């Protein structure tokens, strides 16, 4: 049947562009809540403790870079009616091989990391109760049951509550330490103090920059946005997501600068650094503020856990479906019906189980040396892989001409690709070879 003006290139009914409205916001909140983990907040705190407000400009640039990257992922889904993995597959078999290895190794170690991170604040709040391993297993099982039995709509509402808690707590703590407004604005002037290059690159590329950025397009489809008429809505949603992320980064820089910089308090790297900060807050402001902070710490960690449990399982389900299909097509276009089916599919649930049960072994064992190396290398390569493949896809015949990259998008994606390549090299160099 010939295509008419009533249908789009993807075969869906054409419709007038939706007006961007706050009432539609959703997938962006999910990606912001998932992408900002406890380790990211600690890295930002350490940057603030070492350099004060000097690197505020890097946080702003990082926010803009990630807006561009997530917008590109969402635009691909809406403009083409195809999923991101479908696009990757069109670039050659190498993308399938990389993603298959990455998603298995990364999921195994990330599962243990996410469960431990969610358990840490609970152990700190209830120090007389069970230990870390017990709470890590409990949080993993709660995440499994929640994602297994709930579809996207409920998942989005819970993520909105968790990011609301995160937002209130982080901003409250930043206000409580009394920021230096003048120094904050002065920090918007690009300056690189001695020894700050790696911290600067980390601020620009690290916070909110994970595989969940690739999952954004899948959450867009799960929300019911399935063609280019939703483009304005998606762009507003995405900006809200990374402006929210930017607020988290700025707030944590303020806390690092005001609470830790002057007193030269050193934090443990990784998630445990937030336990150190909780002790500092208790000494300075009392146990009430410290406990409130630990609640925010839990919301940060647990939102990342269930976000990955849902988003990456959805990507894995799509990966399996596209892998089984003929190379020249054979699968449905992306959309809410496809996403809903994938959420009930066997691959979705198998990956959920993979994220939950095998990683529990790592709670008792030191992470094997070879696995740590493989995880570090694969993880370091993911963000350059995402940025550069999006640059390729959105400048080719695979994308309808009106939705291909303009010079601004090309510039931002090229900047992101270059930045993430530099970070990738640095991360690989720092691995315990």
Residue pLDDT, tens place only, 234-257: 999 998 888 888 888 888 889 888
Q: What is the mean pLDDT of the chain?
A: 84
**pLDDT computed for residue 9 by the predictor:** 39
Residue reference for tokens 């993979």: 354
pLDDT band at 3 (very low <50, low <70, confident <90, very high): very low
- Condensed to tens digits (0 to 9), the pLDDT of residues 213-225 reads 899 999 999 999 9
Concatenated DSSP letters of 39-69: HHHHHHHHHHHHHTTTTHHHHHHHHHHHHHH
Q: Residue 172's pLDDT is what?
A: 93
Tell me how far apart the alpha carbons of residues 258 and 140 are, in angstroms, rounded to a whole number: 35
Q: Is the pLDDT of residue 14 over 50?
A: no
Distance, CA of 367 to CA of 375 (rounded, Å): 10
The whole-number pLDDT of residue 94 equals 94
Asked whether the predicted pLDDT for residue 269 surpasses 70, the reply is: no
**DSSP assigned state of 20:** P
Q: What is the pLDDT of residues 122-165, one digit of tens each?
A: 999 988 888 889 999 999 999 999 999 998 999 999 999 999 99
Q: What pLDDT, on the 0 to 100 scale, is given for residue 48?
A: 86
Q: Residue 330: what pLDDT?
A: 54
**132 sits in which H/E element:** helix 132-149
Q: Is the pLDDT of residue 197 over 50?
A: yes
Residue 201 contacts residue 419 (beta carbons within 8 Å)? yes
Q: Could you tell me the CA-to-CA distances from 324 to 142, 285, 366 in Å, in that order? A: 31, 57, 36
Q: How confident is the model at residue 84 (pLDDT cuts 50, 70, 90)?
A: very high
Query: Which one, of 406, 407, 403, lies nearest residue 80 by Cα?
Result: 403
Q: Could you tell me the maximum CA-CA distance found in the chain, to the nearest angstrom?
A: 72
Tell me the mean pLDDT in the region 415-426.
82
Is the pLDDT at 8 greater than 60? The verdict is: no
Which range, of 63-77, 111-125, 396-410, 414-428, averages the lowest pLDDT? 414-428
Q: Residues 170-189: what's their mean pLDDT?
A: 88
Which pair of tokens denotes residue 142?
């709660």
Integer Cα distance of 112 and 131 in angstroms: 15
- Binned at pLDDT 50, 70 and 90, residue 4 comes out as very low
Structural contact between residues 219 and 311, judged by C-beta atoms closer than 8 angstroms: yes
Pick 63 or 271 by higher pLDDT: 63
Q: What is the pLDDT of residues 388-417, one digit of tens each?
A: 999 999 999 999 999 999 999 999 899 888
According to the model, what pLDDT value does residue 352 have?
Answer: 96
Q: Is the pLDDT of residue 386 over 70?
A: yes
């Amino acid at each position: 049947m010939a295509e008419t003006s009533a249908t789009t290139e993807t075969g869906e009914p054409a419709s007038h562009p939706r007006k961007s409205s706050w009432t539609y916001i959703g997938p962006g909140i999910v990606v912001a809540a998932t992408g900002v983990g406890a380790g990211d907040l600690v890295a930002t705190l350490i940057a603030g403790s070492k350099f004060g407000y000097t690197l505020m400009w890097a946080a702003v640039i990082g926010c803009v870079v990630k807006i561009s990257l997530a917008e590109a992922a969402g635009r691909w889904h809406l403009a083409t009616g195809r999923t991101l993995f479908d696009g990757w597959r069109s670039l050659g078999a190498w993308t399938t091989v990389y993603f298959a290895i990455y998603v298995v190794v990364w999921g195994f170690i990330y599962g243990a990391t996410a469960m431990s991170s969610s358990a840490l604040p609970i152990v700190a709040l209830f120090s007389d109760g069970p230990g870390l391993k017990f709470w890590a297993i409990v949080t993993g099982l709660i995440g499994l049951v929640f994602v297994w039995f709930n579809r996207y709509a409920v998942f989005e509402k819970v993520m909105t509550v968790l990011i609301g808690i995160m937002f209130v707590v982080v901003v409250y703590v930043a206000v409580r330490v009394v920021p230096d407004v003048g120094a904050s604005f002065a920090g918007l002037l690009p300056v690189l103090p001695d020894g700050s290059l790696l911290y600067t690159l980390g601020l620009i590329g690290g916070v909110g920059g994970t595989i969940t950025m690739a999952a954004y397009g899948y959450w867009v489809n799960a929300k019911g946005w399935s063609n280019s008429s939703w483009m304005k809505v998606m762009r507003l949603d995405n900006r809200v997501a990374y402006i929210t992320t930017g607020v988290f980064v700025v707030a944590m820089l303020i806390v690092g600068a005001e609470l830790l910089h002057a007193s030269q308090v050193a934090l443990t790297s990784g998630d445990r650094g937030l336990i150190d900060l909780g002790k500092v807050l208790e000494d300075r402001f009392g146990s009430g503020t410290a406990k409130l902070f630990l609640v925010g710490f839990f919301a940060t960690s647990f939102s990342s856990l269930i976000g990955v449990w849902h988003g990456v399982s959805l990507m894995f389900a799509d990966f399996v479906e596209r892998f089984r299909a003929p190379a020249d097509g054979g699968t449905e276009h992306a959309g809410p019906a496809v996403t809903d089916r994938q959420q009930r599919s066997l691959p979705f649930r198998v990956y959920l189980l993979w994220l939950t049960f095998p990683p529990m072994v790592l709670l008792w064992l030191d992470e094997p040396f070879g696995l740590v190396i493989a995880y570090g290398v694969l993880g370091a390569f993911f963000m350059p892989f995402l940025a550069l493949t999006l640059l390729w896809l959105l400048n080719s015949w695979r994308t309808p001409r009106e939705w291909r990259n303009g010079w601004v998008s090309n510039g931002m994606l090229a900047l992101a690709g270059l930045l993430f390549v530099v970070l990738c090299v640095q991360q690989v160099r720092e691995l315990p070879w």
